Amino acid sequence: MNPSRLTILAEMGLSPVWVRRDAPPVAPGSGKTAKTGLPASAVAAPEDHPAVAPAPAEMPGSARPSGIAGMGWEELRQAILACRACGLCARRRQAVPGVGDENAAWLFIGEGPGAEEDARGEPFVGQAGRLLDAMLAAIGLKRGEDVYIANAVKCRPPGNRTPENAEMAACLPYLERQIALLRPRLIVLLGRAAVNAVLGEERSLASMRGRTLAYHCGDREIPVLATYHPAYLLRNLPDKAKAWEDLCRARALMRGPGQR
Ligand code: URA
């Protein structure tokens, strides 16, 4: 690959780019990635990386540690890293537990790691992540400062497809424990999959946004807002205005009654 292509991919947030030495030529008409719209081959770490041994056939549901509901942050992180509770573990480079301030008031939840997140072990570090950082900055927030970022599933779905309900269900105990440890003041769900995972709602994102929803955590009801996933916004620029409305609503909620 010549430097100018590398530079362009870096500008687009699609670096670093890995090229397997033994990679076969890409077949004409091969698929595009769901989240970037770019050919899967152009995106770092395609799903065929040779990272880990395949999971045993009887694995789903059988290889998640017990006692998640009683774990502290570090134990939870280790459990996620070692998890083999669903088929996504077979093709991950690594699991991506979450990132940020463990005392954060704000919790943002996305769908699942993409190629760059799978490579770096941190959520939202690719192109969508750069937009998320800009969205945070627009309301005076910064990754890691009073903000925690997690995903509905902790392992990259092959080809960046939407996680299946069974995969989100297998991963839910980890997310529930993250929420319970964090006890955030507000949860912002990024996209339909996150809404589905956290609230069990399969309705359209458009029908879920614009109102304050609730997540029950022990004796507490945590307010929840749903907004568009940054990867969706990269493809649907006009909806950025609606996302901005949602962010203003979130900021107003956090500031208290009558505040904008
Ligand atoms: N999209 C997500 O939903 N999560 C990530 O971590 C990255 C992209």
Per-residue pLDDT reduced to its tens digit, 219-230: 999 999 999 999
Regarding the beta carbon of 159 and ligand 1, being less than 6 Å apart is answered no
Q: Which CATH architecture has domain 73-254?
A: 3-Layer(aba) Sandwich (3.40)
| Average confidence (pLDDT) over 78-97 | 97
Assign 62 a pLDDT band (cuts: 50, 70, 90): low
Cα–ligand 1 centroid distance for 161 (angstroms): 11
Better-scored residue on pLDDT, 259 or 101:
101
Residue with tokens 């870096």: 10
The per-residue pLDDT for range 154-182, each reduced to its tens digit, is: 999 999 999 999 999 999 999 999 999 99
Give the rounded percent of residues in the chain with a pLDDT score beyond 90: 73
Residue with tokens 């839910």: 172
Regarding the beta carbon of 111 and ligand 1, being less than 6 Å apart is answered yes
Regarding the beta carbon of 113 and ligand 1, being less than 6 Å apart is answered yes
CA–CA separation, 14 and 151 (whole Å): 20
Regarding the beta carbon of 60 and ligand 1, being less than 6 Å apart is answered no
CA–CA separation, 56 and 37 (whole Å): 32
Assign 259 a pLDDT band (cuts: 50, 70, 90): low
Cα–ligand 1 centroid distance for 113 (angstroms): 5
* CA of residue 158 relative to chain centroid, distance: 14
**Residue 34, φ and ψ in degrees, nearest 5:** -65, -40
Query: With 50 as the cut, is the pLDDT of residue 57 above it?
Result: no
The per-residue pLDDT for range 134-149, each reduced to its tens digit, is: 999 999 999 999 999 9
Please say whether the beta carbons of 252 and 259 come within 8 A: yes
Q: Which of 155, 229, 232, when mutated, tests ligand 1's pocket best, judged by the most ligand atoms within 8 Å of its CB?
A: 229
The per-residue pLDDT for range 63-79, each reduced to its tens digit, is: 677 899 999 999 999 99
Regarding the beta carbon of 114 and ligand 1, being less than 6 Å apart is answered yes
Amino acid at site 7: T
Helix axes of 127-138 and 240-255: crossing angle, nearest 10 degrees = 50
Q: Which of 14, 88, 111, when mutated, tests ligand 1's pocket best, judged by the most ligand atoms within 8 Å of its CB?
A: 111
**CB-based contacts of 6, cutoff 8 Å, min separation 6:** 15, 17
pTM more than 0.85: no
Predicted confidence at residue 64, as pLDDT, reads 76
Task: Give the domain ranges of the chain.
Answer: 3-44, 73-254
Q: Give bridge partners of residue 223 from the DSSP assignment.
A: 214
Please say whether the beta carbons of 181 and 187 come within 8 A: no
